C-alpha cells in the first residue's frame, strides 16, 4: 500500500525528492531575525545547504533552497537559478527566494557598502 510519504516533489527536470526527505528538512532549521529560515545542514563552500538521499540505487543531492522553492511554486525550469533576495545562502524561507536566469544572477551580487 502506498502512502503520501511515497510521493515525490519534482524539483527540476532531473531530481524528484521523496516527501519523507522534505519532512526531514522541515525538522532541522532555525529562524533568524529578518525572517530567514536557515537549514542546520552543513554548508558547502558557497554557504548553500544540501540534503542527500538514495533513489533507485543512486545517491542524489539536492540544494535545500531549490527544494523549498519547488515545494511552493512547482518545478524549476531547466537552466534557471533560485536566488536569495536576503543574501543568506542557507536560508530556505520561500518568501526570500526568486527565480533568475544564470545571467541575471551573475549581475545581482550583494551590493557593496558605500
Ligand atoms: Zn532569508
Query: Which CATH code, of 2.40.30, 3.90.1200, 3.30.450, 3.90.75, is assigned to 4-101?
Result: 3.90.75
- What is the pLDDT, as a whole number, of residue 4? 63
Sign of the Cα torsion 30, 87, 50, 71 reads positive
CA of 13 relative to ligand 1 center, distance in Å = 25
pLDDT tens per residue across span 26-74: 889 999 999 999 999 999 999 999 999 998 899 999 999 999 999 999 9
Q: Nine-digit cell at 48?
A: 548553500
Give the integer Cα–Cα distance in Å for 52 and 63.
9
CA of 71 relative to ligand 1 center, distance in Å = 16
CA of 39 relative to ligand 1 center, distance in Å = 11
- Mean pLDDT, to the nearest integer, of 12-25? 93
- What is the pLDDT, as a whole number, of residue 50? 96
User: Mean pLDDT, the chain, as a whole number?
Assistant: 90
Evaluate if residue 104 carries a pLDDT over 90: no
CA of 104 relative to ligand 1 center, distance in Å = 19
pTM value > 0.85: yes
Amino acid at each position: 500500500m502506498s502512502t503520501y510519504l511515497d510521493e515525490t516533489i519534482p524539483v527540476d527536470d532531473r531530481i524528484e525528492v521523496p516527501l519523507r526527505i522534505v519532512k526531514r528538512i522541515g525538522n532541522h532549521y532555525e529562524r533568524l531575525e529578518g525572517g530567514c529560515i536557515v537549514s542546520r545542514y552543513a554548508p558547502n563552500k558557497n554557504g548553500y545547504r544540501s540534503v542527500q538521499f538514495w533513489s533507485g540505487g543512486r545517491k542524489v543531492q539536492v540544494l535545500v533552497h531549490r527544494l523549498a522553492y519547488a515545494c511552493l511554486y512547482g518545478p524549476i525550469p531547466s537552466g534557471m537559478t533560485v536566488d536569495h533576495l536576503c543574501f543568506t545562502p542557507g536560508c530556505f524561507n520561500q518568501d526570500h527566494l526568486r527565480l533568475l536566469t544564470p545571467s541575471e544572477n551573475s549581475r545581482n551580487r550583494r551590493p557593496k557598502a558605500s
